[in-house]
Amino acid sequence: MTHHPTLSRPLLPALRRAAAATALCAASLAAAADPGSIEARAQAVAEELRCLVCQNETVAGSTAPLALDLRAQIRQQLAAGRSEREVMDYMTARYGDFVRYRPPVDARTWLLWWGPFALLALGGLGLWRRLRTAGAGASEGEA
């Protein structure tokens, strides 16, 4: 069998590219097909999302049909190669910040995060003023 130099020269780079592409596909499929890592990542994302039909429950802890659907969507998106952040961003864009179990601290959620502390401070200030005026009134009544 004779070796034909004109055919092998253009074929060699194409074969190298095909081999590299096959290796890359095999590596990405192996990473995506690992159910343990996808399941662990899906669980972590589901712990950060609020069930929209349950009160104060995460998607991971809920048995509501919507929560089951959301967990399936999370797994599908992670299996498709999306990162946890991309899945969270998708869910937030679709359902709003309410879907996040721990909403981010920003201008829209400032009142949610700092409102309870402000109310506590105002209540403490009101109590202090009331006690102070009650103490001053008792002092004047004795004089």
The ranges assigned to domains in the chain are: 11-104, 105-143
Tell me how far apart the alpha carbons of residues 129 and 119 are, in angstroms, rounded to a whole number.
15
Q: Which residues of 69-80 are buried (b: 16+ CB within 10 A; e: fewer)?
A: ebbebbbebbee
At 69 the pLDDT is: 95
CB-based contact 92:100 (threshold 8 Å): yes
What does the pLDDT look like over 33-57, one tens digit per residue?
A: 555 689 999 999 999 999 989 878 9
* Percentage of residues of the chain with pLDDT beyond 70: 69
Domain at 11-104, CATH homologous superfamily: Cytochrome C biogenesis protein (1.10.8.640)
pTM metric for this prediction: 0.54
